[in-house]
Structure 1
């Protein structure tokens, strides 16, 4: 399937990859195998509720046309993942694709929660999976650790290591380190990094760091730069995460016994919107890609949302973001839309236009120049609701994507803003440009559509 272009719900995104029904959240197991991208994700195919979590699976040869694959992992009655198959990665283990993921044995959905790392083996094409319940890592016997989850595997100086996110009894968030010379038996090396570090306290404020990831990213300076990214969990969160996702950039060096030591230098937010969480990164030889989860939003008076009852009636919840390309520039994270997304450009509605522009329900706007504030609003005869606003000056350049109820704004050389908004009857998207700014606007269409 190419997403779900004929879905009956007008708020359903037509160009962001996801199944036509059910709940989705964290992207998992990002892989590139034999010319195809594979995106797994937490998935309840039976309802729009966060329950009975499986691993769904989509694949694509071009990041534009997506095919829905069979469900990869399911909760196994009596097994360690009986309560759900949670966040994890797919790695190569001697030529065998292997998923390493969290299997919860206490409430990950409520007060922190703990999990073990469980392995499943896949076929060469990642289409079929065998779950035998093998536990590769349990909860470390450390009284300082109150919550643990979300394994991520990386390589450094020829060795394989893993991270897990954690919460500590002190109220700090942390990352745990493991040596993974044998994928079936991880060696716990200790609390590796925590929010005791001043830069982490500033840029990664949380009670638990979820979905920690450590990858090397291209740096325009030519430096060997490593990116630590974490999702910032608070006990008051309930599928809306106002702290969002933070990052640190720095250097990685070998320490005692060859274990990696991270020295952060700068940091910031990985996305400036409220509706972005639990991303996963796919490091490739030629580039570094990221997908994130954008949950449904209950909104506010000024920001249109959906009630839980409306989400239940719609039968679907959660969106995966467009694939994003990461790099470091001037000591900061730079996020761009994957170049392949240009294939979605259809009829051009505006060329070099200024002033206030009416946009299609599915659109890309490329804005350049100007001094002042851009505003993206939902407008009707009765009211205007501002969804997104940002100041621009001089040579600023933005690419804004609207796909029904999700908006992604990419500012060149900076990070993205991801927001959810649901047009009501009679509302249209309008883009208000400041003096001197102009925009090209395309309606999105699937390749091959007239």
Structure 2
């Protein structure tokens, strides 16, 4: 489901005093510590990925390492497991793995510029204080709207709030928008998801947008104080691609942008047409123009609206929203929808292309280990594979395979339903078929698959340069065991290792 397919926002204009008093945000336990036992025992609910205790979540917002802790905020509906009435959920972690749920951080202010939703944004550290710059939305007549999706008309403005305490629990909003409207004369197809950063000469910020009839655009702003912003120009833009009612669906609007240096290059990430995308290239600092040289997709399937942060060691960490792939009626009835990806470390390869791997901290969750090392022939490899099982759909699987032989494998349930499939033909040595995608691989040598399975999600990374996150569902109250099968070319398998992953809580509530 597209994050901007609105669900009506019923009740958004009337909030209890426990959620907001004027511009002062009071903590409210929208995360509900006392849970329905059915949610805690749902086998499809992940055991080592982050998600709120209940209800709907989407985009990661403002992840930040602050005073020895990792803070994660995300788009959240405190009332139901469907999109609507966007708040910011909040959780804290010592290691990006084990999370403690905190009260809702930001809620819409009745009559304010975010009365109909606190949309996505970014954390900013300014000396000894932490702020959040985010998009607020209100219903307006169509002629005044920056966002028109065919059903609703919204005005999007960029807002600023400051944390009042070192634990980032209490927040005070700046009364007026820090960017109240798109650049004069620009007919935008969206105006949201601000992402600021500091340079030697002040603050810069990108905002996701699009220009009607011209395509997606990333707008660049500059400020000396985070409050007064001056529009510069388009940092980067695309081309007109289609005529969808919602321009983000066609690729004519780029949302959730982020711009940062990585190695000797600069990287832009953004989301459009259902995919999270990246570009790497050169920044002309005199003209402040970005010149892309390489581009690609961050993840080919259930992964959208990513956000990055620095970890305690200065690594660039990527988080992404993993949406549901089942009917709304099912996830609404389940009482929860969506989850956060595992943290991924971003680097640039020598070819200037983006690389990613699950952060090594995830290794701490590894438990019981099963291992197969080839060398006794294909028949023996197949025999030993039949004894390896990823139990309860909760574990990590790593495989190393040759590139000089054709092979195919699958990770499947006992009923034969595939969770992950992969196949390779040495005649096309830089292409790997994974599920329904064809991944382009730039390196020679072995192919390594790293698959993280958790309840109803499988994050698969290939050679640290391509990723496919998929969802799988099943009936019943027990998560199925999964078996690795070599359907072709068992002799190509060098090594396979399965680890049981330790749950991060006793009751699937991730807290």
TM-score (norm. length: structure 1)? 0.85
Aligned to 1:213: 258
Unaligned runs of 5+ in 1: 199-203, 219-223, 234-240, 298-305
Shift of 1:394: 4.2
Separation in structure 2 between the aligned mates of residue 135 and residue 351 of structure 1, nearest angstrom? 58
| 1:349 to partner: Cα distance | 3.4
CA RMSD of aligned residues (A): 2.7
- 2:307 paired residue among 270, 280, 283: 280
Paired residues of 2:116 and 2:136 also in contact (CA < 8 A): yes
1:115 aligns with 2:156: yes
2:314 is the alignment partner of 1:269: no
Aligned to 1:349: 370
Question: Is 1:314 paired with 2:367?
Answer: no
| Residues 205 and 195 of structure 1: CA distance in aligned 2, closer, same or farther (over 3 Å) | farther
Partner secondary structure for residue 254 of structure 2: strand
3-state SS of paired residue (2:70): strand
Pick from 246, 249, 252: which aligns with 2:283?
A: 252
Q: Distance in 1 between matches of 2:354 and 2:129?
A: 33
Residue from 227, 236, 243 that aligns with 2:267:
227
Is the alpha carbon distance of 1:374 and 1:68 closer, same or farther for their aligned partners in structure 2, counting shifts above 3 Å?
Answer: farther
CA contact (8 A) 1:57 1:71 kept: yes
Please give the alpha-carbon distance, in whole angstroms, between the structure 2 residues aligned to 1:124 and 1:47: 30
In the TM superposition, what are the counterparts of 1:188-199 in structure 2 within 5 Å?
188-196=231-239
Distance in 2 (CA, whole Å) between partners of 1:367 and 1:113 is 48
Q: How far does residue 127 in structure 1 lie from its aligned partner after superposition?
A: 2.0
Distance 1:386 1:404, change over 3 A: closer
1:211-256 per-residue CA deviation (whole Å, 9 max, x = no partner) reads 01101123xxxxx1111011014xxxxxxx2xx1111101112124
Decide which structure has the larger Cα Rg and report it.
2
Change (3 A) 1:134 1:430: farther
Distance in 1, matches of 2:417 and 2:167, equals 49
Alpha-carbon distance between aligned partners in 2 of 1:142 and 1:443, rounded to the nearest angstrom: 57
Are the aligned partners of 2:117 and 2:138 in contact in 1 as well (CA < 8 Å)?
no
Q: What is the Cα deviation at residue 430 of structure 1?
A: 2.7
The residue number in structure 1 matching 2:482 is 429
Higher relative contact order (CA 8 A, sep 6+): 2
User: Once the 2 structures are TM-superposed, how far is the Cα of residue 402 of structure 1 from its aligned partner?
Assistant: 0.1
Change (3 A) 1:350 1:206: same
1:16 pairs, out of 46, 49, 58, with: 49
SS in 2 for 1:313: helix
Q: Distance in 1 between matches of 2:389 and 2:356?
A: 26
Query: In structure 1, the residue corresponding to 2:64 is in which secondary structure?
Result: strand
For normalisation by structure 2, the TM-score amounts to 0.76
Task: Give the direction of change, closer, same or farther, for the CA distance of 1:15–1:147 in structure 2 (3 Å limit).
Answer: same
* Contact kept? 1:326, 1:334, Cα under 8 Å: yes
Q: CA shift at 1:157, angstroms?
A: 4.1
From the superposition, tell whether residues 21 and 109 of structure 1 become closer, same or farther in structure 2 (CA, over 3 Å).
farther
Tell me, in whole angstroms, the C-alpha distance in 2 between the residues paired with 1:385 and 1:70.
39
Cα shift at 1:307? 1.7
Question: 1:209 Cα deviation (Å)?
Answer: 0.3
Q: Is the 8 A contact 1:44 1:50 kept in 2?
A: yes
Which of 179, 201, 206 is the matching residue for 2:222? 179
Contact 2:47 2:505 in 1 (8 A): no
Matched, 1:326 2:346: yes
- Conservation of the 8 A alpha-carbon contact between 1:81 and 1:133: no
After superposition, where does 1:103-182 map in structure 2 within 5 Å?
103-106=136-139, 110-111=149-150, 113-122=154-163, 123-140=165-182, 141-182=184-225
Residue pair 2:355, 2:465 contacting (<8 A) in 1 also: yes
The answer as to 2:86 corresponding to 1:53 is: yes
Aligned-partner Cα distance in 2 for 1:158–1:398: 44
Counterpart-to-counterpart distance in 2, 1:69 and 1:349: 37
Matched position secondary structure for 1:366: strand
Q: Is the 8 A contact 1:23 1:317 kept in 2?
A: yes
The residue number in structure 2 matching 1:102 is 135
Using the alignment, how far apart are the partners of 1:137 and 1:188 within structure 2? Answer: 9
Task: Give the Cα–Cα distance (whole angstroms) in 2 for the partners of residues 386 and 60 of structure 1.
Answer: 30
Q: Report SS of the residue matched to 1:70.
A: strand
